[in-house]
Structure 1
Amino acid sequence: MEALPPMDETETGPEMSLILRLNGESLAIPVRHVHEVINAIPRTRVPNASAMAPWLINVRGAVVPLVDVRRRLKMPPRDHDDGRIVVLDIPRGAESHRLALLADGVEEVMEIDPLRIEPLPPRGAPWPIEFVRGSIRRDGDLVLILEPESLFEPETGSRPLH
């Protein structure tokens, strides 16, 4: 898949989001963060690395941390290496950092109207709500809208991801 065009961050209307599957859940990541989507490629485990980013991958000559989003969202670990890798550019201050995550699959790119986003209940969610901006309904399915900036912050007391 080719690199996706960035979205103008000053826009307040609908935002294009990449919908991916992870552990049976539909998750949305704003397209403005998505650099590219690739097939799963070999990864290298890094000794003494952050538990959240235990692997590195080579994406077109660049070494990129592969983040274990399942761990962050308190989902069961993945027992296979197939799927898709979503390469993201995450702003951090004046800079942008490239990270990747392993998804079970990529479903579509869809427009999300901010007026349709529902807040999550403060209790009872099976995932940490600080990483999820809200949810929307799509054909009866719940789609969680991730907050990539907070999702990829290092865990308290752990090493930086890059």
Structure 2
Amino acid sequence: MEASVSSASTSAGNEASFVASTQAAEQVLTFVLGRETYGLDILRVQEIRGWEPPTQLPQMPHYVKGVINMRGAVIPIVDLRQRFEIGQPTYDDSTVVIITKMRATDKIEGKQIEKTIGMVVDGVSDVESVDMQQLQPAPAFSEAGQVGEQFIKGLANVAEAQSADDKMIIVLNVDALIHQGIFNQLRH
């Protein structure tokens, strides 16, 4: 009788630790920009589309490629390679646009806002499970780079399939990147 109670409590304990570990893990869509692998929360991804030239708008920053009409909604398209200043982009069969949604609180009115944006990337890689408690902080380089540390949640090492090496993923903070790093700059 005691053995069955003990195994039941052990089973419940294992289940609780499994639930706790899965809550710390986040599914991240990984994509490539240049030679680096980036990631963003898969729950923010609405759609992945092939590259097609958007309608250009006058007097936009060089990284805003234009807008597309997606089921009646006008979506701005931003080239992340140009936004992060990672060399000149090339648009080919592997180039995709990740349609993602940002949520933030408006600092002036204090209400919740949502914006949808398309991010042009060199290619989509995979969906990885990343333990968010194991993220390494991004190094602070102040003004040395265009990808500010406030736009990065952290760096994750993920085991590479068919390789002894891990691959590093730069996990982006989508809300900060889109709200502060793109839309706030467009206002200035």
For this structure pair, what is the TM-score category when the shorter chain's length is used for normalisation? 0.7 to 0.9
Q: 2:119 aligns with which of 101, 110, 123?
A: 101
Percent same amino acid at aligned positions? 23
Partner residue in 1 for 2:152: 132
**C-alpha RMSD of the superposition:** 2.6
Moved more, 14-23 or 113-122: 113-122
Shift of 1:31: 1.2
| Contact kept? 1:50, 1:158, Cα under 8 Å | no
| Contact kept? 1:41, 1:57, Cα under 8 Å | no
Query: Match for 2:153: what amino acid?
Result: R
Query: Match for 1:159: what amino acid?
Result: L
Q: State TM-score, norm by structure 2.
A: 0.70
Question: How many matched pairs?
Answer: 151
Shift of 1:60: 2.9
Per-residue CA distance 1:102-161 (angstroms, 9 max, x = gap): 111111111111122111222398543221111111222211000111211256984349
Q: 1:54 to 1:160 in 2, by over 3 A?
A: farther
Partner residue in 1 for 2:175: 149
Q: 2:71 aligns with which of 60, 65, 68?
A: 60
Structure 1 gaps, min length 5:
1-10
Kindly name which structure, 1 or 2, has the bigger radius of gyration based on alpha carbons: 2
Partner residue in 2 for 1:31: 42
Query: Match for 1:120: what amino acid?
Result: A
Query: Match for 1:84: what amino acid?
Result: V
Question: Secondary structure of 2:24's match?
Answer: coil
Indicate whether 1:159 and 2:169 are aligned. Answer: no
Q: 1:48 aligns with which of 56, 59, 84?
A: 59
| Contact kept? 2:54, 2:65, Cα under 8 Å | no
Partner residue in 1 for 2:98: 86
Partner residue in 1 for 2:31: 20
Measure, in 2, the Cα distance between the counterparts of 1:85 and 1:54.
11
Structure 2 gaps, min length 5:
1-21, 106-111, 161-165
Query: Match for 2:177: what amino acid?
Result: L
Q: 1:36 to 1:157 in 2, by over 3 A?
A: closer
Partner residue in 1 for 2:86: 75
Measure, in 1, the Cα distance between the counterparts of 2:150 and 2:73.
30
